[in-house]
């Protein structure tokens, strides 16, 4: 938390995202303590680093007290009421439970991204009738084993018959809103559960998102990139889901680590005409000596060679040729000769940076001054 504070004091991120599991096994007192701690440490309610629109939080399956589930199976939201009240008591009415919560990130030329938080824990604690005889038989078996003192059975009973899922109306609202976004805007989805199955199988019957397959198909059919931020699996993979049919699109799924291990910093770079060009992820991780240190930057291009290149980019590719390695000053000189005038250096740097995100070329020493860059274009 001290590392997050130091980072925010030098460069405040546009949003802070809490992906759930603030407590375990629905222990409300611990949940209250955690929310209070986050608010106090980061000054959330006072707007120390972010306005309310810049803070997103969702419930985790471990936050849900299953004793509060409606025994009639009709009100799937009542179990979230204590969690919502906890955030409101801290003057933070931000927890996404009954509806999708959208906010916008704006740049100098307008909206750059829309952030949606959505509850994936609707079915937690609900022994769904539509599971039929299987549910009844399994529940009876686990309860009998639990009464005999089988602690493993008790663990299974606690969440084994859950069906964590998105409410269909919320999933529909989310996808309808993404469809209406301008082409330059990046949709960012914040939730608790992962879309793809986790790497390590768990014995529990329904630890995966029950309608995760439907969500994956719909989110990856938008003919654009969708950034999907989640928790739940206590691991931190970065996954790209690409769909060609029906509908074509890509989902970049990034998992948050346990806070005791560290946190992620995700940056989106917007290029010419404010199009999202690429994402970088830096894992800040706690080390044995007690420090939190950034690891190597991971870069994922969001641009495509299918995007029509600008005239400047076309000229750059012409002077580079293929299989070449040129210093920045050499590229600048060749462009001047090719065009008959010296290019604006800022425009040239931006064009090279965007071309790298799109996969046209590579830049060595990109974090140094442009004069230190080496630009290469590999033969296809």
CATH of the domain at 355: 1.10.10
Nearest to 323 by CA among 287, 285, 279, 377: 377
Q: What does the alpha-carbon distance between residue 244 and residue 228 come to, in Å, rounded to a whole number?
A: 18
Domain of 259?
Answer: 2-120+168-198+209-301
Pair of tokens at residue 186 = 């990046």
> Any idea of the CA torsion for 274, 275, 280, 284, to the nearest 10 degrees?
50
Would you say 94 and 87 are in contact if contact means Cβ atoms under 8 Å apart?
yes
Domain stops at, among 301, 333, 368: 301
Say whether both 231 and 347 belong to one domain. no
Q: Where do we find the tokens 């699109």?
A: 249
Q: What does the alpha-carbon distance between residue 191 and residue 72 come to, in Å, rounded to a whole number?
A: 26
Would you say 252 and 240 are in contact if contact means Cβ atoms under 8 Å apart?
yes
Please state, as a whole number, how many other Cβ atoms lie within 10 Å of the Cβ of residue 315: 18
Element (H, E) at 224: none
User: Would you say residue 315 lies in a domain?
Assistant: yes
Q: What does the alpha-carbon distance between residue 44 and residue 38 come to, in Å, rounded to a whole number?
A: 7
Residue 26, phi-psi category: left (phi > 0), alpha (psi -120 to 50), beta (remainder): left
Give me the CATH number covering residue 94. 3.60.21.10
Residue 61 is classified by DSSP as: G
pLDDT for 53: 96
Pair of tokens at residue 353 = 């940076």
Pair of tokens at residue 317 = 């590719």
Considering its fold, how many domains does the chain have in total? 2
Say whether both 107 and 76 belong to one domain. yes
Q: What does the alpha-carbon distance between residue 48 and residue 222 come to, in Å, rounded to a whole number?
A: 36
Say whether both 320 and 233 belong to one domain. no
pLDDT for 154: 58
Say whether both 16 and 103 belong to one domain. yes
pLDDT for 242: 95
β-bridge mates for residue 303, sequence order: none
Dump pLDDT digits (tens) for 30-58. 999 999 999 999 999 999 999 999 999 99
User: Would you say residue 143 lies in a domain?
Assistant: no
Using CB atoms within 10 A of its CB, is residue 22 exposed (0-12), middle (13-18) or buried (19+)? Answer: buried
β-bridge mates for residue 301, sequence order: 278
Q: Could you write out the DSSP letters of every residue in 313-331?
A: HHHHHHHH-SSEEEEHHHH
Residues of the chain with pLDDT under 50: 129-131, 380
Say whether both 272 and 327 belong to one domain. no
Say whether both 232 and 359 belong to one domain. no
Q: Where do we find the tokens 């790497």?
A: 199
Query: How long, in residues, is the chain?
Result: 380
Where b means 16+ CB within 10 Å and e means fewer, 64-99 reads bbbeebeeeeeebeebbebbbebbeebebebbbbbe
Say whether both 30 and 67 belong to one domain. yes
Q: Is the link from the previous residue into 361 a cis peptide, with omega within 30 of 0?
A: no
User: Would you say residue 344 lies in a domain?
Assistant: yes
pLDDT for 27: 96
pLDDT for 128: 52
Q: How far is CA 202 from CA 138, 185, 209, 253, in A?
A: 17, 37, 13, 21
pLDDT for 129: 38
Pair of tokens at residue 332 = 């600048």
pLDDT for 133: 58
Q: Could you write out the DSSP letters of every residue in 108-124?
A: TTEEEEEEEE----TTT
Domain stops at, among 280, 301, 322: 301
Element (H, E) at 77: none
Q: Which residues contact 290 (CB under 8 A, 6 or more apart)?
A: none
Say whether both 175 and 83 belong to one domain. yes
pLDDT for 192: 97
Q: What is the pTM of this model?
A: 0.88
Domain stops at, among 301, 329, 356: 301
Say whether both 79 and 219 belong to one domain. yes
Antiparallel, parallel or unpaired: β 110-117 and 186-190: parallel
User: Would you say residue 76 lies in a domain?
Assistant: yes
Say whether both 100 and 187 belong to one domain. yes
pLDDT for 66: 85
Dump pLDDT digits (tens) for 114-167. 999 999 999 888 765 334 555 566 667 767 777 777 766 655 555 555 778 999
pLDDT for 359: 86
């Amino acid at each position: 938390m001290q590392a997050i504070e130091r980072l925010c004091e030098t460069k405040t991120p546009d949003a802070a995202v809490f992906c759930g599991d603030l407590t375990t096994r629905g222990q409300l007192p611990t949940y209250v303590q955690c929310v209070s701690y986050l608010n106090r440490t980061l000054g959330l309610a006072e707007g120390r680093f972010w306005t309310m629109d810049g803070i997103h939080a969702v419930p985790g399956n471990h936050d849900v007290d299953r004793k509060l589930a409606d025994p009639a199976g009709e009100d799937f939201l009542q179990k979230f009421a204590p969690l919502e009240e906890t955030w409101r008591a801290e003057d933070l009415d931000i927890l996404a439970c009954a509806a999708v919560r959208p906010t916008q990130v704006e740049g100098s030329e307008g909206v750059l991204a829309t952030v949606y938080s959505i509850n994936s824990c609707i079915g937690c604690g609900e022994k769904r009738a539509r599971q039929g005889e299987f549910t009844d038989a399994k529940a009876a078996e686990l309860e009998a084993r639990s009464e005999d003192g089988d602690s493993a059975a008790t663990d299974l009973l606690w969440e084994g018959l859950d069906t964590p899922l998105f409410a269909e109306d919320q999933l529909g609202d989310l996808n309808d809103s993404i469809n209406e976004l301008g082409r330059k805007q990046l949709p960012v989805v914040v939730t608790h559960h992962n879309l793809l199955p986790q790497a390590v199988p768990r014995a529990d019957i329904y630890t995966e998102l029950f309608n995760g397959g439907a969500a994956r198909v719909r989110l990856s059919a938008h003919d654009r990139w969708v950034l999907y931020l989640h928790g739940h699996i206590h691991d931190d993979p970065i996954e790209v889901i690409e769909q060609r049919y029906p509908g074509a699109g890509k989902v970049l799924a990034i998992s948050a680590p346990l806070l005791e291990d560290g946190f992620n910093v995700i940056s989106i770079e917007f290029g010419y005409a404010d199009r999202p060009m690429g994402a970088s992820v830096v894992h800040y991780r706690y080390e044995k000596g007690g420090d939190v240190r950034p690891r190597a930057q991971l870069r994922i291009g969001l641009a495509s060679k299918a995007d029509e290149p600008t005239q400047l980019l076309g000229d750059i590719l012409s002077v580079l040729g293929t299989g070449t390695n040129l210093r920045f000053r050499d590229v600048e000189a060749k462009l001047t000769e090719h065009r008959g005038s010296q290019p604006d250096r800022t425009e040239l740097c931006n064009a090279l940076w965007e071309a790298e995100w799109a996969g046209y070329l590579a830049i060595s020493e990109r974090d140094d001054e442009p004069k230190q860059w080496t630009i290469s274009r590999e033969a296809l």
